[in-house]
Structure 1
Amino acid sequence: MPFVGDMERAENSVREDIRVPLIQLKEAFVHGNGDAGEHTHESSGKPWMVYLSTSVAVCGAYEFGAFVGYTSPTEAAITEDLGLSTAEYSLFGSLLSIGAMIGAITSGPIADFIGRKGAMGVYGAFCAAGWLAIYFAQGVFVLDIGRLAGGYGMGALSYVVPVYIAEIAPTNLRGALTSLNQVMICTGVSAVYILGIVLTWRALALTGLIPCAFLLFGLFFIPESPRWLAKRGDQKEFEVALQKLRGKDADITCEATGIQNYIEELQQLPKANVLDLFQRRYRRSVIVGIGLMIFQQLGGIGGISFYSSSIFESAGISSTIGTTTYACIQIPITIIGVTLIDKAGRKPLLLVSATGLALGCVLAAISFYLKAHELAVKAAPILALTGILVYIASFAAGLGAIPWVVMSEIFPLNIKGIAGSLATLVNWFCSWAVSYTFNFLMSWSNYGTFVLYAAVNALAVIFVVKIVPETKRRTLEAIQAAITA
């Protein structure tokens, strides 16, 4: 059980004023089935403000899904109305990933400088501007500017939203609430797919303004992240925000002391830069955070989600039936994953998810192999549909949400901005690489493409077993102290 050893090494590296809380956390872990911090940092207050704050924040996650899904139902209409060539529309679609990569680079430093709430407001405004530009576009230039602006806001929100939720949530709810980020991404994708059937492409763009309005308006009623306030030295605002989140009758003394002591320890370290991420103390957290982002994307999700219609058609399945089933299945499966993440834990769900992804790819590969060699002609389409649905369900159950959850948990506050930006940038770069190369790979070999993705997902299983720690029911301070020991 390597995490216990990490905890012991962490205790030897921290100051005396946080030694006792960490020892208590370790004892709770050893004698209480890993529920470190469960008894010390759960509040007795009603966390209605946590739920409200999370509901506001995940409007940004809906924007993520809406922008990703927008190009699928609107391709024919936009191309015809604006007279775009296939190359021009492909550029329009790809600008989302480019904007997201730019957003990823700036998201961490900006969120550290102006706060999590301020950052969500700025990026929500970029998303709103993007939708408006798309709605009013009369030519390719304004259309592309809108897509780029939306991609920038969306890419930055993909980092800030889970970080904010993780920093405000009680330990026993953190995993489930952070996973709502992925639920809302799936909801955004599915909603755009369905609404795109009945709405024009301009009207569909206007629907993207609704969650933006909820986000920007809701920010006036929710507190800033207490951990960010404590890091900034705003003692009074820190206590007010934490009390508001835990309930007016809740005793926040223990949690506040733990947060402040840990931040005081971090503030003795020099200001972090990119090169600091390669220091030995941060190496494991960076490997875990970036590694999960790489495996999340290189397992093929970008290509399969962006080109699902063509995959189903290539396999001999109605694209309408395939994509509708795709859109409907991911939301309930993601919700099931959310209900299990704080009970089963992050690591078991990641293992189940990666295994299911590999299995889904193998089934799809077998289907395309049978079709290419004209074997079991009637069974091949059913096998392909089964494989893709197993893949989507497995992704929704674990690797879709949990890498963002773990990323928000493992980086210490002094490197969270830089490390989080790097992890988000890597995620979006890998997403672009997969979506860009997918059609080339499918032209090379349909079944070979899915064999390649199956191999990547098999490697993900090994990575999770060997490298990724379990973070269920542990305080952020205990997780970060252990992993950087």
Structure 2
Amino acid sequence: MAIKDDVENQEIGSHAGGVQEPLILAKKNQTYDDTRKGNPRMAYFSTFVAVCGSFAFGTCAGYSSPTQSAIRSDLSLTLAEYSVFGSILTFGAMIGAITGGPIADFIGRKGAMRTASGFCVAGWLAIYFAEGPWPLDIGRLASGYGMGAFSYVVPIFIAEIAPKELRGVMTAVNQLMICTGVSVWFIIGNVLSWRALALMGLIPCAVLLSGLFLIPESPRWLAKRGRTKDFEAALQKLRGEDADISEEAAEIEDYIETLERLPKAKVLDLFQRRYLRAVIIGVGLMVFQQFGGINGIVFYVATIFEEAGFSSSIGTITYAILQVVVTAIAAALVDRAGRKPLILVSAVGLVMGCLLTAVSFYLKVHDLAAQAVPILAVSGILLYIGSFSIGMGAVPWVVMSEIFPINVKGVAGGFATLVNWFGAWAVSYTFNYLMSWSSYGTFILYAAINAAAIFFVIGVVPETKGKTLEQIQAAINS
């Protein structure tokens, strides 16, 4: 009781200070509103540190494409052995998705990022020292685990530390850095050896691990754990020394007190009526994001260009640059245009990109308009990746980080991320089989799935722009 009373007294003193400080500053001709806003520099820096994990994610995803021929040649791997190496990444990511949420809830968001970094470091070192397929696969599995954990904890951490008016753009930086990591590895993978490229993968992990010592833990997680003093200190640090955090702190604490009365969530609890709509939104967006074909196209884009009769190196570099540029534009727009409009524009572009690519392969198969085939294929693929980057790539992760109540966020976020990674594996595994069945039919199938996404977003997905996490969850469950 003595400890509790001391915490309460400190809390009251903190709130009292929050009231007095603006009055004192007002005497110096500063307004209450200006004081209240503070300076969220620490929130920006914390986001930068966290998205080093997103960049590490991208380096893992972008590693296999430029290194395929060199690794197969140096280690005498068969195509089947290299296929295992490439695809086992997604199995590791699925495990990371399953366990990343509970780990983040148990040891904190920073602890989960440290764990993910440790797996990535171990994975890169195993790949670097590999002399055969087994160490190579073990390293790939470990780095995949880190990817899966990062894919959950980074957007969650950013959403929980960001001011509501900046949450969309700050969370969208997660996808921007993933795309940047993929693109940079695509490009430098043509210059560096595969072992040197593996060592380069240690750099973002080192930056992240160092930066975690300098940033605060998620205030919402601290509040959930009952660490009131640390919660207020972290929130004050994130909002700036001069910010009045009393209103935001009270809202978070009131919401968490309500949630604490609820029993601890399990996977089956996600299908209760109170959580079902949020689960449908989160899982549905992940399904459409992956089954629309993105990983098949990313993993085999060079092959697609080659089959269409276009230079794979020029096409791949153009693809990589476009992906980063458009994702950066999307990050700037997500808090202005809103989540829902960006996803809808993205889905329409994905349909058109798939149809253009389908037409190009149809013409090739039937020996029609041969000169138009490369132009249509390149236009279709670039339109596809540009459209994906403007909305469907980043925004589902932003929405997923916003819609789940904190008492089920670990379980629900882990489940949605698991679905995402299962979709990534399914699409990347089946892509070559589908292309063998029908090259143009493959892209017609993806076009149909992306068309279904349009109706799903219109009918089910809410707009979350400019709302606090607590307001979003109240609206979903109303």
1:28-427 to structure 2, matched below 5 A, reads 44-427=37-420
Deviations 1:152-203 (A, max 9, x none): 0111110000000000000010000000001100110111111111111010
Equivalent pair of 2:121/2:205 in contact (CA under 8 Å): yes
Relative to 1, partners in 2 of residues 1:43 and 1:341: Cα closer, same or farther, differing over 3 Å? farther
The one-letter code sitting in structure 2 at the alignment partner of 1:155 is G
Greater CA deviation, 140-149 or 241-250?
140-149
Task: Please state whether the residue corresponding to 1:261 is helix, strand or coil.
Answer: helix
Partner Cα distance (2:87, 2:164) in 1: 38
Task: Please state whether the residue corresponding to 1:474 is helix, strand or coil.
Answer: coil
Aligned to 2:24: none
Aligned to 1:453: 446
Equivalent pair of 1:131/1:209 in contact (CA under 8 Å): yes
Aligned to 1:7: none
Partner Cα distance (2:400, 2:128) in 1: 34
Equivalent pair of 1:43/1:246 in contact (CA under 8 Å): no
Please, which of 460, 465, 468 is the counterpart of residue 458 of structure 2?
Answer: 465
Partner Cα distance (1:86, 1:116) in 2: 39
Partner Cα distance (1:192, 1:357) in 2: 24
Task: Please state whether the residue corresponding to 1:413 is helix, strand or coil.
Answer: coil
Equivalent pair of 1:267/1:414 in contact (CA under 8 Å): yes
- Mind listing any 5+ residue stretches in structure 2 that lack a counterpart? 1-31
Equivalent pair of 2:36/2:242 in contact (CA under 8 Å): no
The count of residues paired between Structure 1 and Structure 2 equals: 447
Q: Which has the higher contact order (CA 8 A, sep 6+)?
A: 1
The one-letter code sitting in structure 2 at the alignment partner of 1:111 is A
Aligned to 2:437: 444
Partner Cα distance (1:295, 1:401) in 2: 13
CA drift of 1:374 comes to 1.5
Aligned to 1:431: 424
The one-letter code sitting in structure 2 at the alignment partner of 1:336 is I
Relative to 1, partners in 2 of residues 1:337 and 1:125: Cα closer, same or farther, differing over 3 Å? same
Partner Cα distance (2:135, 2:297) in 1: 28
Question: Aligned Cα RMSD in Å?
Answer: 1.3
The one-letter code sitting in structure 2 at the alignment partner of 1:54 is T
Partner Cα distance (1:387, 1:318) in 2: 15
Equivalent pair of 1:43/1:170 in contact (CA under 8 Å): no
CA drift of 1:43 comes to 5.1
Partner Cα distance (2:374, 2:194) in 1: 31
Equivalent pair of 1:229/1:238 in contact (CA under 8 Å): yes
Output the TM-score relative to the length of structure 2.
0.92
Task: Please state whether the residue corresponding to 1:65 is helix, strand or coil.
Answer: helix
CA drift of 1:403 comes to 0.6
CA drift of 1:67 comes to 0.5
CA drift of 1:484 comes to 2.0
Partner Cα distance (1:241, 1:253) in 2: 13
The one-letter code sitting in structure 2 at the alignment partner of 1:290 is V
Partner Cα distance (1:316, 1:83) in 2: 29
Task: Please state whether the residue corresponding to 1:58 is helix, strand or coil.
Answer: helix
The one-letter code sitting in structure 2 at the alignment partner of 1:400 is G
The one-letter code sitting in structure 1 at the alignment partner of 2:188 is L
Task: Please state whether the residue corresponding to 1:172 is helix, strand or coil.
Answer: coil
- Mind listing any 5+ residue stretches in structure 1 that lack a counterpart? 1-38
The one-letter code sitting in structure 2 at the alignment partner of 1:73 is P
